[in-house]
Structure 1
Amino acid sequence: MQYEPSLGRDELIEFATKTYFGNVDAKNMEAALDCFHDEALFCVQTAHTRHSGKAEIRRMFEDFFGAYETIIHRDFTCTVDEANGRITASFIAELHDADGQVTLLNNTNFWRFRPGPDGPKFQEVYVYMSGANVLT
C-alpha cells in the first residue's frame, strides 16, 4: 500500500539521518521509538530477522544500546523518492564496545513513511548490513 507523501526531500533526509539516527546515537530510546508507527516493521534483510511493533523494536534497541558504549552513524549517501515518501541511505555504522573494540559496518537502510495524527513516521525499515547482525 502506498501512503500519501507528506515530507519533502530535505525533510526526509533530516528525519532519517538527524532525528532518527541522532537519537539512536544518543541512545535516546523514547525519541528513537517516536520515529516509528505503533505497528511498524523493522527487518534486517541480511540476517532474516524482523521486529514487528514498537515493543519488539524497543527490545531490539535495548539490546543494541546495552552492547555498545558509543554508537555513531556517519557518512550518509541518501537517495530520496519524495513522491512516494521513501528514502534510502548508505552509511557507516561505527560501534565501540566496553572493551574498546570497534566494529565498522557499511550499511544501507530503506525507509517507508506513513502519515499519522502526530506526523509522518516509519512504517517499514529494511536494513542491509555488511557484517554480523548487531540488531538482534
Structure 2
Amino acid sequence: MQYQSTLDREGLIDLAINQYFGNVDAKNLDAVLDCFHDNAMLTVQTAFTTHEGKEGIKRMFEDFMGGYKTIIHRDFTITVDEDNGRITASFIAELEDPDGGRIFLENTNFWRIRDDKFQEVYVYMSGANPLV
C-alpha cells in the first residue's frame, strides 16, 4: 500500500534522524512514540519479529532503553524518496550495556511515512536483535 506524506526531503530526514534517532539516543520515549501512527508497525526483518501499534512499539522501546546504559546511532548514509514519502538510512548503532560492554551493529532502516509520521519501519541489523 502506498501512503501519502506531507513531508518534504528535509522533513523526512528530520523525522528519521533528529526526531526519531535523536530521541532514541536520549531515551526520550514519549518523543520517540510521537514519530509513529497509532497503528504503525516496526519489523526487524533479520530477526523475524514485528511490533504492532504504539503499545507494542512502546513496550519494545521500554525494554530496549532500559537494557542499555547508552545508545548511539551515528555515521548515517541517507536516501530519500520525497515523492513517495520514504526514507532509508544505513548507520552504526553503538550500545553500552550496564556492565560497560559495547555492541556495534551495522544497520539499515527503511521507513514508510503516512502524513508526517511512521506507518511502517523495517530494520535490518548485522548482529543479535536488541529490539525484542
TM-score category of the 2 structures, normalised to the smaller one: over 0.9
The residue type paired with residue 85 of structure 1 is G
Deviations 1:39-95 (A, max 9, x none): 001000000000000000000001101110000000000001100000000000000
Mind listing any 5+ residue stretches in structure 2 that lack a counterpart?
A: none
- Alpha-carbon offset, residue 8 of structure 1: 1.1
The residue type paired with residue 91 of structure 1 is F
Aligned to 2:12: 12
Deviations 1:9-51 (A, max 9, x none): 1111111011100010000010000100000010000000000
The residue type paired with residue 24 of structure 1 is V
Map 1:1-136 onto structure 2 (within 5 A): 1-115=1-115, 120-136=116-132
The residue type paired with residue 19 of structure 2 is T
Tell me the C-alpha RMSD between the 2 structures: 0.6
- The runs of at least 4 aligned residues of structure 1 exceeding 2 Å deviation read none
- Alpha-carbon offset, residue 4 of structure 1: 2.0
- Cα distance in 2 for partners of 1:107, 1:5 equals 24
Task: Report how many residues are paired.
Answer: 132
Identical counterparts, % of pairs: 69
- After TM superposition, the score normalised by the length of structure 2 is 0.98
- Cα distance in 1 for partners of 2:48, 2:5 equals 28
- After TM superposition, the score normalised by the length of structure 1 is 0.95
